[in-house]
Amino acid sequence: GDAGPDAAGDGGAGDESGSPNLRTPLSAAGAPGKLASKDPNVQVLIAGDRLRTHELGAWFGRILTTIPQWQAFFSDTGVDPIRDIDHLLIAGPQLRDSSKVVAVMDYRAPEETMRAAVDVIVQRSNGSWIEDAPVPAARATAERSERIFAMVPDRRLLVVLPAEEEDQLSKLKSMKGFNKSSEAGIVISMLTPANAFRGVQALPRSLAWMRLTVTPTKDGGADLALTAGDESAAEALEHAQELTRTLNALRTINLGITRIDVVDEVTFNTDGKVIWSKLHVTNRQLKLIMGFVEQALRDQGGARKK
Q: What pLDDT is recorded for position 224?
A: 92
Q: Over the chain, what HEC string results?
A: CCCCHHHHCCCCCCCCCCCCCCCCHHHHHEHHHHHCCCCCCEEEEEEHHHHCCCCCHHHHHHHHHCCHHHHHHHCCCCCCCCCCEEEEEEEECCCCCHHHCEEEEEECCCHHHHHHHHHHHHHHCCCEECCCCCCCEEEEEECCEEEEEEEEHHHCEEEEEEHHHHHHHHHHCCCCCECCCCCCCEEEEEECHHHHCCCCCCCCCCCCEEEEEEEECCCCCEEEEEEEECCCHHHHHHHHHHHHHHHHHHCEEECCCCEEECCCCCCCEEECCEEEEEEEECHHHHHHHHHHHHHHHHHHHHHHHC
Q: Is there a single domain that holds both residue 199 and residue 262?
A: yes
pLDDT: is 144 or 207 the higher one?
Answer: 207
Q: What pLDDT is recorded for position 6?
A: 40
Q: Is there a single domain that holds both residue 195 and residue 257?
A: yes
15 in any annotated domain:
no
1 in any annotated domain:
no
* pLDDT over threshold 70, residue 271: yes
Q: What is the mean pLDDT of residues 236-264?
A: 81
2 in any annotated domain:
no
Q: Is there a single domain that holds both residue 247 and residue 143?
A: no
- Overall pTM > 0.85: no
Boundaries of domain holding 242: 186-305
Q: Is there a single domain that holds both residue 142 and residue 211?
A: no
Q: What pLDDT is recorded for position 25?
A: 67
Q: What pLDDT is recorded for position 4?
A: 44
201 in any annotated domain:
yes
Q: What pLDDT is recorded for position 161?
A: 92
Q: What pLDDT is recorded for position 168?
A: 87
Buried b vs exposed e over 261-276: b needs ≥16 C-beta within 10 Å?
ebbeebebbbbebbbb
Q: What pLDDT is recorded for position 173?
A: 83
Domain endpoint, select from 137, 172, 207: 172
301 in any annotated domain:
yes
Q: Is there a single domain that holds both residue 60 and residue 157?
A: yes
pLDDT confidence bin for 108, thresholds 50/70/90: very high
Q: Is there a single domain that holds both residue 52 and residue 141?
A: yes
Total structural domains in the chain?
2
pLDDT tens figures, 188-205 = 888 888 887 777 677 889
Q: What pLDDT is recorded for position 37?
A: 56
Q: What percent of the chain has pLDDT over 70?
A: 82
pLDDT tens figures, 146-185 = 999 999 988 899 999 999 988 889 888 888 888 777 788 9
By residue count, the chain amounts to 306
CA atoms within 13 A on the CB side of 257: 0
The Cα 116–Cα 118 span in angstroms is 5
pLDDT tens figures, 30-74 = 667 666 656 678 888 899 999 998 888 888 888 888 777 777 778
- Best-predicted range by mean pLDDT (17-21, 47-51, 75-79, 249-253): 47-51
CA atoms within 13 A on the CB side of 247: 17
pLDDT confidence bin for 14, thresholds 50/70/90: very low
pLDDT confidence bin for 26, thresholds 50/70/90: low
